[in-house]
Amino acid sequence: MEKTSGTIRVVFPSAASSSNMYPSNKIKVNCSTWRKPLRNVSALSSQIILAPDRFLYPGLIWGPNNQIVGLFQSIYVAIRLNRTLVVPRFGTQHTEGEIQSVPDYQRIDVDHLCSFVSCISIEDFHKKCHGSMDVVFQAMLSKMRDVEKFQRDTQMHIIMNEEYKLSDYFVGNSLQSSEKPTNKANIPFYPCCNNKASVNWLSSNQQVIRSTFNTTASCALFASAYQPLMLKSKGQIAIPLDKNYTKVRQIRDDTLYMAIVDSVRRPKCITQLADAYIDANIGTDEFVAVHWRYDKNDWLRVFRGLKRYELCEVITNITSEDVARAIINNLPLLHDKKEIHSHNISAAVSVYIATPPSLKEFKLEIFDHLEKLDRRIKKVPLDLDVYLSKSVFNKCWNSTGWVSLLDILSLTEMEIMRKSKYFFYSHLSTWSDNIRPLRWKRSEGKIQRLFEASILDLSKTVMKNRIKRN
């Protein structure tokens, strides 16, 4: 989970006037958007209509934003295999302790997704498949504990035969359903990547996908869906499909994939909450957002494990002043004459910084340096977590059974970043990567990407120059 601090005036935990504790009069608090929808998703009219008698359930793994990437990839595979998508359950961040199951409506806008592609609920999936999976497609080498979680989430029976385990942790090439105890035949379990845990091993070509997962079995689990496909959203723009697209097979792979990314949005209640926060505490969409992901307890630990020692050393040597100077030196709003003129820059520029909670002090140091380096930088009067604790919105999630407050904080921060005019993102962060494709606007009939730059690369340059001078 990533915690935040302000926009071109900064956001940190400080006492604030009561006027900032509530949404402005422009924002109506509607708790109904926080509740589980009552309608059946399979009844929604979808742009891409898939076979109604064959299904794919995305078995999602790892952190919340890895799960979103896994959902992108699962939707693509479902479309190319002509299988109706089962809207999955998600999981909480491992740093919250024991992983808890998160309902779909608390992580994504289900209506938006299912208006794009044919969907079915887990409950209907369970009924149509009589409580048992028919086949398992392995996106990555699957761990037993993950398959057991998929079983709990769907209430579908997927029991492993001992002889098909590769180890205590991984499963091999077959499964057997406890629903069919008298049938000794194994459920087909399609292995990935020559039994090596890997990413980007599967071509996006439709014929390749269909030959890889060649079966007429109806009820499929896409196990450990993270990033098997040779498709990525990083650096791309997520644009909806044109309404004239009628033949899915003729859609380019990358065009389809980015339309899928567009279809997976944060819940409407989160968008509403982000709008209320921006309106009450920033007052404009002309603000700067910065994401600094690099904490020692999580990110650096993982990347040291991947033997990227050089990168870890660089991050360790970057100071808060280096980051502040990187922002000041590269912000068009402060230097570009056209930007300054068009936006009528006056006394205050709001800067919102999102970091993991463990980097709170580092974030405050960045703000101190920003204000010293340029007096136009001011602090947003109220931190997001404080705003949420005092806001009338809290009655909504408290009364509607939301699983994780950290999820609400992280999702709202992501939406704040998406809405910013200028975004300094974190390289090698799925949190940043899942924001970037949605940052664009139409201008004079053309699509324009909003400003973005890697805060790590810019800070690295400042750090190297500092070392040379010394």
**Predicted local distance difference test score (pLDDT) of residue 360:** 93
Closest among 92, 429, 397, 85 to 263, alpha carbons compared: 85
Bridge-based pairing of strands 187-190 and 119-120 is unpaired
d(CA 387, CA 315): 31
Q: Provide the pairing of β-strand 84-86 with 119-120.
A: parallel
| Of 247 and 303, more confident | 247
> What burial letters (b/e) apply to 444-459, b meaning 16+ CB within 10 Å?
eeeeeeebbbbbbebb
Cα separation, 222 vs 57, whole angstroms? 6
Confidence of residue 306 (pLDDT cuts 50, 70, 90): low
CA distance 448 to 27: 28
For 173, the token pair is 């090439």
What are the φ/ψ torsions at residue 47 (nearest 5 degrees)? Answer: -70, -40
pLDDT digits (tens, 9 = 90+) for 92-122: 987 777 889 999 999 999 999 999 999 999 9
- Cβ atoms within 10 Å of 52's Cβ, excluding its own: 12
Task: Look at the chain and count its residues.
Answer: 470
Digit-coded pLDDT (tens) for 180-234? 333 334 566 666 665 454 678 889 999 999 998 988 899 999 998 999 998 888 7
Cα separation of the two ends of the chain: 36
Q: Which residue has the higher pLDDT, 448 or 95?
A: 448
Q: Which residue has tokens 């996006």?
A: 204
Q: Which two tokens stand for residue 206?
A: 């439709």
Q: Judge whether 323 and 351 are in contact, CB under 8 Å.
A: no
316-366 pLDDT, tens digit per residue, is 899 999 999 999 999 987 776 555 555 555 557 899 999 998 999 999 999
pLDDT greater than 80 at residue 283 = yes
Tokens of 244: 């004239």
What gap in Å lies between CA 468 and CA 470, rounded to an integer?
5
The residue among 338, 307, 356, 332 whose CA lies nearest residue 424 is 332
**pLDDT band (50, 70, 90) for residue 307:** low
CB-based contact 413:289 (threshold 8 Å): no
**pLDDT value for 395:** 86
Beta bridge partners of 425: 454
